Structure 1
Amino acid sequence: MKEIRIGLIGFGVMGRNYARVLRKISNENLCYFSSISDLNPDLKREAEKYARFYQDYRKMIEEEKLNSVCIVTPAHESVKVAKQCIEMGINNILIEKPIVPLAYLREGYELLKISKERNVRIMSADIICFDPATITLKKNINKLGKVNAILTIRFGKYPYRFTEVGVNEDLLVHDFTFARYLLDWEKFYVKNVIKNAFFREKQIDFVSVEAVSQSNVRLIASATWLSEEKIRLAIVIGEEKIAQINFLDEKKNLRLLPKEIIKQIDLKVIKQIEGKEIGETVPLEKFEPLEKEIKYFLETIRKNETPITSLERALETLETLYVTAL
């Protein structure tokens, strides 16, 4: 196949991470990363540490003869940029999540229609699916027995640079994607929503959701920007075992607890087991999720495959969350 010539559109906070990883991957000869575009000319000097800089991504696509792009722009611009890239002949696109704000969901489906008509591969950058703990849990999911419930907590500081998306689109989307990935992409249906916009009118900064999957697995997910501390936790309750993930603790990322211990716990038992390990720590591979994600994107291009985090699946997840924006 022809060389993968890839450019980066957007050099903000997340775009800088993409540039670093793309440069590393390009140096490994897995692709040719030639260029970065951003509307802000003040970023030129920093961007040129990684690749050539353009203010106009359309000029970049034309002059660099690109066939693939990573779009890391503000969410409300991603669809418009992707459509213009397709018009210019780009046929492989990785878009940072959320693909679109919930208010622009219809435009996301328009992009899906165009991508199918033009045979363009579009992958959603759902990095939760490329986290070592998520991948390890997926490989060990059968040890849990039938999954009955998934509980998640995702807290963080207020991202003041965000103005067009709420915490439901920024953080909660990760947990619905996580749950769908574990359950082979079953759809969820939201039953109850508690939400609030404490600091900015109409910008949700706290949300807690109860949802049920097609196979009747309950998901209870809470997300907020109102925490001083960054917290990323998940508990998956099976009939045989309970899995717990602390995504920020490298020493105990994935733990498997025998359910009979949970059932039998009382004050006396707690005193007996205090300070002792009662579960199994599953060893994880060591890799950077963003690097894993981008390498996977390149692999789908080489193998001509549909990504697991496809545009269609990303839109399904966002559609499920639409009720949280009402």
Structure 2
Amino acid sequence: MANKKKQTALIGCGWFGRAHARNLDNLSNLIAACDVNEEVANSVASTYNARAYTDYQKMLDEEEIDAVNVVTPPKYIPKIALECAKKGVDVLMEKPCALKLSELDSLRDYEDSVRFMPGFLELFNPVVDELKEQVGSIGEIMAINSSRIGLYPKRNWGIGVMMDLGVHDVYLHRELARLIYNDTTVVEVSSMLRYMSSEEKYEDAIFVLLKFHKMVTCITANWITPSKARWLTLAGSDASIEVDFITGTIKRIWGENLKGDYPRSVEKLIIPLRREEPLKREISSFLYDKTPPLDLQDAHEVLKTTLKALHQI
């Protein structure tokens, strides 16, 4: 990390915004916190000895800020990011970074002068580092499957489960395709959506197939099942890997004596030695990496795939 800490601000002080604030305070000089709810803004600002705002434009005009984390409902993120960019401020945009591709395209004029980074949190999970280490040892990859199950959210963001949960697996599958085949192009998307509400406005469950040039992957997500799960499985010709993002563990499974009289499966549980918080790693990368690992084009490609799964493009 650079010796000089950056001057940062937070826009959006809800439950996840508070996690951003805690890490921004640890990694930088958090000087301002903004939320339309004055009480919430004051609460976060007072916790970290920052100044509180309810108008982000006023904050941008009055403060000397190097970087901003935008943790608002997704429909507001592109406009806020654009105003930050006009001030020369780098922007970390929480997922989903926008609801329309045109909203992201409006930021293109500034991508050479400021840093835009999408908040693809799971890529900074230490368990993903371990997964990457294991991928080359399981033979030819036959299938990638992932599932995210969560309780129905209390917030009203105007999005369904794909934008809320499934998007994580879109960027994870792209990263695995890059790692295995050096190609992240999704050539075809097919999906089925399920609605539990009579309004059928936002999907509650989704089943997605992503066709890359050399493999097909599967994503399922729902917030109907009364439990919580975050897992991903890679099936290889020599072994398979099961990742549990909640426990932060990997299970490697292979067979022995497969052609003999007593074939059996063998399992090995792997717990990554590095247990650093993914959000802290993500924010540190955004603030201080010479070249951030993600950019506006990554945000665009992930959103495009997500919208195709929702039959919106």
Is TM more than 0.5 here?
yes
Paired residue for 1:180, among 166, 174, 177? 174
Give how far 1:86 is off: 1.3
Give how far 1:264 is off: 6.5
Paired residue for 2:130, among 136, 139, 158? 136
Give how far 1:3 is off: 5.1
Give how far 1:187 is off: 2.1
Instruction: Tell me how far apart the structure 1 counterparts of residues 250 and 41 of structure 2 sit (CA, whole Å).
Output: 41
Instruction: Describe the SS at the equivalent of 1:33.
Output: strand
Q: Which residues of 2 match residues 1-326 of structure 1 at below 5 A? A: 4-25=6-27, 31-47=28-44, 48-50=46-48, 51-90=50-89, 92-101=90-99, 104-111=100-107, 113-116=108-111, 118-184=112-178, 186-199=184-197, 200-214=199-213, 216-250=214-248, 253-258=249-254, 260-261=255-256, 278-284=266-272, 285-300=274-289, 303=290, 305=291, 307-326=292-311
Give how far 1:321 is off: 2.0
Taking a change above 3 Å as real, the CA distance of residues 264 and 53 of structure 1, as seen in their structure-2 partners, is farther
Q: Is 154-163 or 188-197 further displaced after alignment?
A: 188-197
Question: How many matched pairs?
Answer: 301
Show CA shifts across 1:220-255 (max 9, x none). 1100011211011110112222111111224xx111
Q: Is 188-197 or 48-57 further displaced after alignment?
A: 188-197
Taking a change above 3 Å as real, the CA distance of residues 115 and 140 of structure 1, as seen in their structure-2 partners, is farther
> In structure 1, what residue type is equivalent to 2:202?
Q
Instruction: Tell me how far apart the structure 2 counterparts of residues 265 and 221 of structure 1 sit (CA, whole Å).
Output: 35
Check whether the contact 1:190–1:321 (CA below 8 A) recurs between aligned residues.
no
> In structure 1, what residue type is equivalent to 2:192?
I
Give how far 1:85 is off: 1.0
Taking a change above 3 Å as real, the CA distance of residues 38 and 290 of structure 1, as seen in their structure-2 partners, is same
Check whether the contact 1:124–1:309 (CA below 8 A) recurs between aligned residues.
yes
Give how far 1:63 is off: 2.4
Taking a change above 3 Å as real, the CA distance of residues 293 and 219 of structure 1, as seen in their structure-2 partners, is same
> In structure 2, what residue type is equivalent to 1:23?
D
Show CA shifts across 1:38-71 (max 9, x none). 1111214421212221111222223220021101
Give how far 1:13 is off: 1.8
Gaps of 5+ in 2: none
Check whether the contact 1:7–1:61 (CA below 8 A) recurs between aligned residues.
no
Instruction: Tell me how far apart the structure 1 counterparts of residues 252 and 118 of structure 2 sit (CA, whole Å).
Output: 30
Q: Is 166-175 or 136-145 further displaced after alignment?
A: 136-145
Instruction: Describe the SS at the equivalent of 1:281.
Output: strand
Check whether the contact 1:190–1:209 (CA below 8 A) recurs between aligned residues.
no
Instruction: Tell me how far apart the structure 2 counterparts of residues 279 and 64 of structure 1 sit (CA, whole Å).
Output: 54
TM-score by length of 1: 0.86
Taking a change above 3 Å as real, the CA distance of residues 262 and 107 of structure 1, as seen in their structure-2 partners, is farther
Taking a change above 3 Å as real, the CA distance of residues 5 and 163 of structure 1, as seen in their structure-2 partners, is closer
The percent identity for this pair of structures is 29
Taking a change above 3 Å as real, the CA distance of residues 264 and 319 of structure 1, as seen in their structure-2 partners, is farther
Instruction: Describe the SS at the equivalent of 2:13.
Output: coil
User: Which has more helix, going by share of residues?
Assistant: 1
Instruction: Describe the SS at the equivalent of 2:137.
Output: helix
> In structure 1, what residue type is equivalent to 2:240?
I
Instruction: Tell me how far apart the structure 1 counterparts of residues 220 and 238 of structure 2 sit (CA, whole Å).
Output: 25
> In structure 2, what residue type is equivalent to 1:209?
V
Check whether the contact 1:152–1:222 (CA below 8 A) recurs between aligned residues.
yes
Taking a change above 3 Å as real, the CA distance of residues 165 and 263 of structure 1, as seen in their structure-2 partners, is farther
> In structure 2, what residue type is equivalent to 1:281?
L
Instruction: Tell me how far apart the structure 2 counterparts of residues 120 and 154 of structure 1 sit (CA, whole Å).
Output: 33
Give how far 1:263 is off: 6.2
> In structure 1, what residue type is equivalent to 2:105?
Y
> In structure 1, what residue type is equivalent to 2:121?
I
> In structure 2, what residue type is equivalent to 1:257?
I
Taking a change above 3 Å as real, the CA distance of residues 39 and 228 of structure 1, as seen in their structure-2 partners, is same
Give how far 1:156 is off: 0.5
Instruction: Describe the SS at the equivalent of 2:190.
Output: strand
Give how far 1:176 is off: 1.2
Gaps of 5+ in 1: 26-30
